[in-house]
Each structure stands twice: as C-alpha cells, then as structure tokens.
Structure 1
C-alpha cells in the first residue's frame, strides 16, 4: 500500500562507504570480506551453542534482550581475538574504523536484517528493490533512485537472509521455497516485504517502507497532505460514520492517510482490520485504539489446505461486533462483502484501492466485483456503491515525492452503468484539492450536524498552508 507524506528529515551519512555527488571524498579503509565472514561464522557458532545450552537449562528460548547483549559481547571477543592473532603473526590489526564497521555488519546480520539493515534504519528510504544480491536499488523520499552496494555476498546468501526475516516475523510460519515461491510479510519496523523465488532468474526482493507508523489529521496538515477545510471535512465524516474509500497510485500514501483518518475515531470504538499483510497497525497505540482486532489472510500450506482469504475474513469480521471494519486494500473478491456490509448498515467502514482518479475508483470496484465468485454485473455493483459508499478520496503522488489529496467525491446515486457523484473537492491549479461542486443538501446537513463549518467551502482556492513543508528535499543517505 502506501508510503509516507512530506519532506525528509536531516541528512545522514552514506552506507558501506559509497560516495555520492556533493559528499566528501575522503578515503575510507575497505572491509575485508574474508575477515567479515570469519568473525560472523565464529560468533554465529558460539551463539548457537549458547542458545542450545540456555534452552536445555530453561526449556524456553533465550530472551531477546539477553540474546542481543550476548551477541554484541561475542562480537567484541571475536574481534579482540582476531587482533591478538594478527599482532602475534607480525601483521597490523584492523583499522579502528574497519573494526567498528565489521562489528556493526556482523550485528546487523545476526540481530537485524543483514545488508538491508542500513537502509531500513534510514528514515529517508521509501523503497528497496533487489534483482539478485548485487542489483540493489533504493528510492528516497525526494523521488531519487540510486543503485547501491550488494545486500549479500551471493544469491544463496540473499535467500538465507530473507528466510531468516520470514522466520522472525509475524505470528505464523511464512514459507519461501520452490513449493511457495511468493512471500509477503511485514517486518518489525512496519515495512512490507515481497520476495519471489524460483519463478524468476534470480531471487527478487521488494520492500515498501512506512516512515510514519502513526498519523493524525493535524499532522497531515503539517505535512501538506490536506488543508484545514479537508481536515474538518474528514473529522466530521468520521463522526458521521461515512463509508469511505481512499484511492491513489502505488506509493501515494494511502495506508498512512487511512491511519490519519482513523485517528479521529473515538477510543471506545471496536475496530477490526483485514489485510493480506499487516500494515495498518492500529493496535500499536493502545491509548488511541485500545479495542482492535487485526486479521491477516493466510496462504494454503504445502498440502493445499488452510487458506483463509480476505473475503472470508471480512465475512467473519461482521460477526465480531465491530464498530468499524477496515480493509487494508481492495484487490479482488473481498469487494463484494465490503460493498454488502456498507450497504447493509455497517457504517464507518473504510478501505483503500489502487486507482488513477477518483472517478476511476468506481470502475475498479465494478471490475473487481465482476471477477468475484458472485459475478456481479456492473448495474448491480453500482447500486451497491450508491447504497453504501459515501465518499471517495483520491491521493496524488508527484514526481518530487509530494503526496496530497487531489479530489473528494460524494456518491449520490446510480443509474445503470453510471455512478452519479459530486466532486466536492477537485484538483486546483497545482493539483491540490480545492472546493468544487456543492455537496448535496443531505450530506452537507449531516456533516454540519457533526461539526463541519460550511463556510470553509466558500474559499475557492482552498486553505492550503503555503508556508508549510518545502517541496524541495535533499538527498538522504543511510548511516
């Protein structure tokens, strides 16, 4: 789903000694791959023995904090032993800078995400893709894309790294082998990982990162994603329990935006989220949303059994006494139960969808419904849309990495193959949403009853903060 809004924070240093235009060209000692492999192997072997001894004595795995402290101590001891051996052999020890980087790299491999860790630690990185271990590309918040250093020494080592991440993540087993060559999971930092094996020439990796794991409507204003009028409109729409679908292209920030909308939901409401891979994360903040059930679709096992798709999860969610149901992203069969729920009175539900325009959201819903097992015809789907869906919000992603609301549509009615809608906020001269067609009397009265000031619609250029975050962002690099 989405990447975050707004410009990037402060500049940090490059990874693996890689230099970029405008950065200092001071020489750095290179890492010795053989030394790195030796230290990593020695520490891994000692750590494995320590883990087995702990489990034999306690019948439980070693606590994460104890394991991390032990790993760092073993790394220090291994480096000290290596330095002693080198001096006894009459050779100089490692340069202090190189020794520090060896320690960090080994720690990343054993405790973090190996060669991916520096980029996952960089707050400016939005996407990481790898076509094999050495064809690695990183997309930054300012829209620039750079080819960077390898994330592993070989493709088999890259496969082992990804399998290690899969084993550490989530509450169910995520297999990745010839029988299950497609892998989707959420990393510990909230990033979404996709990996492909065997059906491609070389293992392929894609990571979409979320720089904002929590979001509020005021923060969306600060980041330039919405203006004051839109914030007031969405807050009132939440209180009025309007069913909403957020559309936009890949990377437009749909998930982050949905988090912002959810922040306006009263804490006492019970929320149920449905996703193919955990991303929304409403259950992370127990103060804002203490009553959350997060559900994730499950693939079939090697015997072809145990699959639970999003449509099945949605049908079950309606039996869980939810105040609101969120579908992380509509991609297929789940569209029918979602529209059914919206049209049958489960108000306040929300979802996201890939679409190139707010009007295109309706066409996408029709296409998904036609491909679902129910095979709904367009006219029937449009009736469901008109009966249950209230608002469509469209996000835009610019070439410079800016993300903002560009259109808001009110669903009015359906007539056969057409959904009638009012574009109550339309793209302005710079693409940002400004007041457009007047809302229907029914919608305006409902919003006003829940605190929206209709006078906010009278300013035709909108209420955008022209002194907000700059659209110019410098390049950011990983430490």
Structure 2
C-alpha cells in the first residue's frame, strides 16, 4: 500500500462508507502497485429497496473487521473516541474489500462490479457501526414506516401510503432478536434492556427515527420503525401540503405566540410530532425551551438555527428488580426531569406524547408556566380530554375524576385534532393528513368540569374534513394582535353560514 493511499484513507469522511472508482491517470498507473489503489470512500444516495448483497460474505467480513478493530482499540488502550473508531473501521473495511476482490480475481472468479463493491462496503460498515441490514431501509427517503413481523416478513410503507414487500432483515428470527438486544444495549447515553424479562423495546435511532419492538410475547419478533421525515417544518409548509388552511395556521401561530397551552391529538401516524415541530417554530429563537420525552422525537435541540436554548430531557426505563420506592435501578422519569428543570430558568416546557400518568408532568409544566405543548392519541378533540383524564387517574387513587378534570380544564387552552384518511386511487393507497378540529377548553359546570367550543370544525362539504371556522369565543379575538387573521376567519364563516 502506498503512502499516498494510506493518507487518503485516514482523512475524515462523512456519510456511508462507499466506494467510487475514477479512471486512473498515467501517473496513477505508474505509482500504484495495485489496480484498485484509486478506490476511495464517498457518499451516494441509497440504492433500490432490497438491493442484492451476499450477506454471508458480509457476516464473514464483519467478523474480521470487528476483530481487527478490537485489537486496534485495545492497543490504543481505549483512547479512540467513536469518530476515530469509525474512521479506523472505514480503513479496515477498505482493506478487506480490496483483498476480497483481489482473491476473487486470482481465483478466476468474475470480478465484482463497482456497484457490488459499493453495496458490500456499505453493508459491512453498517453491520459494524449502524443498523446492519436495516440501515438501507432507514436511509431511504421513500419510506415512512418499516413493519417487521419476523425476519423474512417485511412490509415497507411508502410516503404515499402504499405498501411494498421488503427484503429479509436477518437470516433467522433468532438473529433478528440478537441484533435488537445488541442495538438496545450499545447506546452510550441511554442503553435499554431487551430480554425475556423485558420483552418490549422503545428506542430512538440516528436521524430521528423511532423503533418499537416486541419479542418472546409475540409468535415472531415484531418491529416497527417510524421515520420522521419533516424536521425543519413550519405552519406555512403544512399549509402548502394542504394539512390546514391559512386561516387555521394563523390562529395556531397566534395561539403559540400568545402563550396558550396546546395539546395535539390524533391517531398513530397522523402527523402529531410534525405539527408540534411546526408550532415550536413560532417560538422566539431566544426563548429557553425544555423538552420532556420518553424517547427523543422532536429533536428541537438539533435545530440550532431555529432554537438557540433547548434543554432536552429523555426518560430512562431502568432495569432489574424494583426497589422499595417502586423504581427500577437507573430509572429516570419525566416527573423527575420536570422537577429538575425548574432550576433551568425555562420559558416553556414541552412534554412529548402522553400515554399514562406522565400527564402530571404536563400539568405541572402548564401550571408552572405558559405556552406548553403536548401530544396524545385520541379519536377526536373531545375524546382527547377524556383520554387525558383517564391517564391522570393512573397516577394513583389520590387523583379523582373531578380533580383530574378540573386540573386539565384550568391548564389546557387549545386542543388541535389531526385526522388521517387512507383512500385508494388508481390502484394505490393515498394518505391524507388534515387538521380536522381546533377547540377551546375552559372550566365548566360541576357535572362535566369543562366546556368546549369548536373554533374550527370539520368541513361537511370536504371529503378530507379539513377544519373550517365555526364559533370564536370573544376572548380569542385578542389573538389578532399576535397575527390571527380575524377578518379572514369571519369572512369564511359568513360564506359558510
């Protein structure tokens, strides 16, 4: 190996470890002892879904690369950081691929094409440092969900809602489970257990994807990977996608700016997290924000140009038996995170998805400040209230129905409900996400504990059910000073009257 090629490989390289081969110049041919000396790592877009790769060869090369890497790390006494290990891993992968290609040529076999070398190099590197056979799927921008019910039963849900078969993600169910166990345990920050004693797994992946898995309690291992495609999104972007009308966007923009506390409800995949990101884009860049999530999904702390001060908290499930306090070793709850956050001089506290008793974290956030935002699963806006009351009562017998209702009615100002419709057009599925309802919530009579007003209701003349002006409480007219298009609201309401 020439010195020139060695130095080339040691240079920091971003992205996937792929090969590209450029035609050698006469100088290159004279100075390079091997015809593959001009190969170098590059970054290219993902290939076709399910590109063919010899996974038995990948497994063998990964084992060799892992051994070499382990020896190098041990020789350096563990001083290599993650980036340095990946750079070293790229060099090792290059050497192994080069040797493999040379061996095939010497044995008289058909030479590997550049495309095959690219795919093999990426697969080996992904097996070492990324998601292995899942990585090409997670990298594919055409995909929204990856649905796995067994290693060889994979469905890919595309962004238009259509489904297509995907390639096997392991050679057996046992191999898939082993990989999930490894994936759960290797996190340097928030490792999670996955075993017969802990048969469920919720994990955030690189790039904002979310993984949910179950095994041992299901006939075959089940995995769903949800890809978050829209990270830097605004309300105007959602208007362009026909998710809501300009008037409704102006109302929500004004609600955020006037520090109303908002809950976003909807079914799975309806776009709740995307809408919350768009709402947060209306917060002043210099406001100090705290986010509280079971797994990071909002990723506001990564949007430095949009949010300068973000303190993100992520819950930790813990492991092992529960102690006298009822907590597992190492467990860190959203309630604890919220208590800690009170010393961080936050302007807004944003609690992620509410699925149970963490509703009290949301209530504390709304009571301690204004302008909180949260999400929950529900079939409509009013059902979201009932769902949150039930969640609150899970906190213990001290939380009665009346107490939960009064707390929620006093702290939540607006509920935005998203509707997801899937229709068939020209033989393919088409998804439509819409803001279907926006209601104002106020304390009510003792019998119910709250009163609701449909500020925007589903349009009865629109099959998609996009929210249109309905009834505007007098107190919300003041939102006009924060950018609410009051005249447009009243004009649309008059036309539909």
TM-score grouping bracket, smaller chain normalisation: 0.7 to 0.9
1:412 equivalent in structure 2:
442
SS at match of 1:189: helix
Stretches of structure 1 lacking an aligned partner (at least 5 in a row): 1-10, 18-29, 464-479
Q: Name the CA shift for 1:41/1:339 in 2 (closer, same or farther; >3 Å).
A: closer
1:368 equivalent in structure 2:
391
Q: CA deviation at 1:192?
A: 0.9
Q: TM-score scaled by structure 1? A: 0.84
- 1:201-280, aligned counterparts within 5 Å? 201-280=219-298
Q: Do the aligned residues in 1 keep the contact of 2:421 with 2:464 (CA within 8 Å)?
A: no
1:354 paired with 2:354, answer no
Q: Name the CA shift for 1:32/1:324 in 2 (closer, same or farther; >3 Å).
A: closer
Q: How many residues align?
A: 435
1:14 equivalent in structure 2:
48
- 1:75-86, aligned counterparts within 5 Å? 75-86=93-104
Q: CA deviation at 1:158?
A: 1.9
Q: Do the aligned residues in 2 keep the contact of 1:170 with 1:185 (CA within 8 Å)?
A: no
- 1:70-469, aligned counterparts within 5 Å? 70-169=88-187, 171-304=189-322, 305-342=329-366, 344=367, 346-399=369-422, 400-418=430-448, 419-428=450-459, 429-445=462-478, 447-460=479-492
Bigger shift: residues 436-445 or 113-122: 436-445
Stretches of structure 2 lacking an aligned partner (at least 5 in a row): 1-44, 323-328, 423-429
Q: TM-score scaled by structure 2? A: 0.81
2:80 equivalent in structure 1:
61
Q: CA offsets, 1:405-458, max 9 Å, x none?
A: 11100113322343311111111123343433332111222x123232310212
**RMSD across aligned positions (CA):** 2.5
SS at match of 1:172: coil
Q: Do the aligned residues in 2 keep the contact of 1:382 with 1:417 (CA within 8 Å)?
A: no
Bigger shift: residues 323-332 or 280-289: 280-289
Cα distance in 2 for partners of 1:308, 1:34 equals 41
Bigger shift: residues 181-190 or 192-201: 192-201
Cα distance in 1 for partners of 2:470, 2:58 equals 64
Which has the bigger relative contact order, CA under 8 A and spacing at least 6? 1
SS at match of 1:402: strand
Cα distance in 2 for partners of 1:273, 1:85 equals 53
Q: Name the CA shift for 1:443/1:69 in 2 (closer, same or farther; >3 Å).
A: same
Match of 1:46 among 47, 68, 87: 68
Q: CA deviation at 1:353?
A: 0.6
| Larger of the two Rg values belongs to structure | 2
